[in-house]
Structures are given as C-alpha cells and as structure tokens.
Amino acid sequence: MPAMQVSRKVDYALRAMIYLSFQEGGQPCSVGQIASDEGIPKKFLEKIIQDLIHHGFVHSTRGAQGGYTLARNAGTITFKDVIEAIEGPVSLNVCVGESGERSDNICTLYPRCAMLSVWQEAQNRVMDLFASTTLADVRTRHGALPRVADDVVAG
C-alpha cells in the first residue's frame, strides 16, 4: 500500500532503456536478454518496449539476430520523457496540471484551497529532477547524484 508510487511499467521501461544505453552503438538486444538480465517478465516487457518504440525512443530490428537499440542518444532522453511516454502526464494531485499549473476541477470552486501551492511546489521539485536527468547521466554518474551522495552499492 505504498503511496505515490510509480507503476511497474515505468520502472521496467526505465530499466530497459538504461540497459540499452549501456549497449549504445553495439548489437541490438533481444527482449529475452533484457528481461532475464533485469528480471522483468518477458511478455510484459515486450509490450512496454512497443510503447517506447511508438514514442520514438527505441528502434527495433526484426528477425533473427534482431532486437532493440536506442533510437536517440542517451543524453537526449530524460526520465520525464520516459515516465510520460508510459504513464501520461504526472500530477501529484487532481488539482495540479501536468506542468504544475492549476487544472480545472474542484479546486477552483474553493478559493480557500490553500493546498494547491503545496502540490504545485512538490510537483515542480520532482519534475525538475526528472526533466534534468538523462539516461546518460545515470549511466555515467552511477549513483553520484548531487545531494544523494552515499552508498548506492557499486558493484
């Protein structure tokens, strides 16, 4: 019952994209390879990757020796891109629109809804991070994000 949690789909999608970013320039990776290395149900991942293809993030090669590669440079694909491709616009509360502005629902009825600005601020904080973190960043930084510093298990 964890609150505000991202779906498995998004987690799997990001893991798969990062996986592909490590192979940039090399052979295509098959869905079976990614799925088993990352511990993702194969058929499920197949569907998720289709989404990513339709959004232009992944390129596919059919047939034997086929598989997937990144369609764009890892440095140009942000967490925000992937999250929104898979889940649609993020909004921490119904009253907050995708870009942190006020959306047109109940809240407008209550001028006294003092919460709005809090949700907006929260949303801006996370989206700023997701929009400024690329696949290349995590590939490179590997856990050394500003402010998070410690453990993170190098392997």
Partner DNA sequence: TTATATAAGACTTATCAGGTCTGAATAGGG
Partner DNA sequence: CCCTATTCAGACCTGATAAGTCTTATATAA
Taking the complex as a whole, the smallest distance from the CB of residue 97 to its own copies amounts, in Å, to 10
Beta carbon nearer to DNA, 66 or 89: 66
Beta carbon nearer to DNA, 62 or 112: 62
DSSP track, 21-80: HHTTTSPPBPHHHHHHHHT--HHHHHHHHHHHHHTTSEEEE-STT-EEEESS-GGG-BHH
Residues that bind its own copies (rule: CB under 8 A) add up to a total of 64
Sign of CA pseudo-dihedral 62, 63, 68, 71:
negative
Tally the C-alpha atoms within 13 A of residue 135's C-alpha that lie toward its C-beta: 25
Contact partner, 25, from DNA, its own copies, none, Cβ < 5-8 Å per class:
none
Is 38 a residue that touches DNA (CB under 7 A)?
Answer: no
Beta carbon nearer to its own copies, 63 or 151: 151
Q: Give the footprint of DNA on this chain (CB under 7 A).
A: 1, 7-9, 12, 28-32, 41-44, 46-47, 49-50, 53-54, 60-68
